[in-house]
Chains A and B, each alone.
Chain A
């Protein structure tokens, strides 16, 4: 360890977000500068570039931490290859950080309110290095678990209060005990890493940033249930996550952590990745198993539950990525420690993917019980462009939209359901006054309609009819009575659908109807969209009194429909305008309507 501490470390985010912002070029630039400036000779220490997982603040990538031996790390944001020579010369060699490029105070406040447990390794270790993982308590959880009997392991998980992080929130320990209680030699463990929710990407970050942590959690689960074969079902849109996880699994096999007699601890476990093929319904456990078996991903009625009759007809246990990641930490620190975090009904932390019209988009890990308001304003810096908050969409296509009045809601399974949304996988999409709630309901329904497997009629046909009504409304052809019809259908579909997809698909419509009914009514009665977002109802013009003559709008207009001269208010040529809303989104003064 002493040798490790003596090194100068450059931690660069190499998650999908970082790489998209050019992290690879930045890493290369660091390596090149180290050689060019002869850093190792000048400083007398080894310099190392470490590719880490996501640090959460994706909006400010590329993030780079420079950790000098014996000092706190310094974080730079928006790093470009051009900036690298200066950082190396001033910070690494002369030991005086480049002040103007260091991440501002928002970075500290972004981290301050969070409690990063699952993410404690993401962003600090080299995601691909087994040694780094082991140096950070890796595999101590499974070592502890095998000293206990499998039933004691399950008891420990029950005591911790961990509930499934995939959305439903079923107590994990109880789920495990069902599968364990089913007789049978051959049992399966499945990790659901399908993450089909649009707007959620925490599973991806765990897979990319801490793949060994997931493997360890799954080993503990497999030991407790008594199964010898595990699948990780990852969606195919995550090439980097699949690559990293495969690399981690291969390494574990090589070093004897997986396979026969894992780590010499006396149990066997084989693990295989199964790449999904792009179907949201496969997040539903019965559909997921059908997909692994090579069929269309269609759900089937339960019971029999997977714990009794699952994959290939054998007892099967399915948990989400984040759930398994939690399990490792329960065994590092004990169930008592874990259950001390969070609220009465929801223990531990929850990771949220915060996106949309919020200043600092990214991944946030907070203890359960933090309010929505704290997450959006304190952690993520509030709304973009100083606009007004309108709603936050929680729980993806199965969840709902919460308005300002519900911002006090705690993030906890039960209080979110009470408010009309749900935890879901943890995607939070923030919307400001330019987002039309009718359009959002239409968007989600369009998604669930397309992703419905089509097996049962309420979901296949009911959603389509609801979607047609919503489309009519957003096109200005809404009729009196539409809203009542929508509500009726929504409750019927919820009641009669076969699986979770159909049972929750009407939620976005119901929650927007509950909180934003007047918006629907304006669309139907006045044929107007109060948020200026429904294209069929738009005509743009500049409000001269509000225009600050800043000249931003002509720059963003893709068809040059805006005339503007310095010192003059802008003017939109209606003939040229394609109503693309570029200018409307870009204007900071709400001067375009």
Chain B
């Protein structure tokens, strides 16, 4: 068993995300949860899924260190390997897959879309890394200028030839505002930007990954939910 099996056995298949980064458009996704519930773990699983399918993923971590972000990938991949003992030459797969990833970390006050664009252009022009997908963890949706930046998202994606961007956002227990689709604040007013919105929600003894909004490409209907393993934050196989 090798990389291909890792792709087809991936529990993320249940979300049908492979169609999201297909050729039929540029998709924007969002993972929401209250602080500390595992948004990064889900983003990394989405990134990993894309990397395993030979997409180049640029992981932008705002307010998080490089080592910590890298450790997320190492841990998730090692957990996937643990779950599936039959994976062939593990180290070889790791080396191969990690070539499809680059991490950029910014301090909260150092990040701007303009800087990101400049860095991406630099990487692409020198032939170092041309991202297909972007994962942005820690974007401040409540911050000044965020609405303007999100408004230009589609043209930004087109300009950089990106198939997919996934964001994470923190929701707050004491803020009850939601959009018609059920997307909580602070993203309730911009939910039309997102094709897919996932919400991590603790329920009794388990953690659910709810699909609040889903593009037509996605195989899960809005309102459906998947179960997460609370120990590993991996999506449980049905």
**Are chains A and B native binding partners rather than an unrelated pairing?**
no
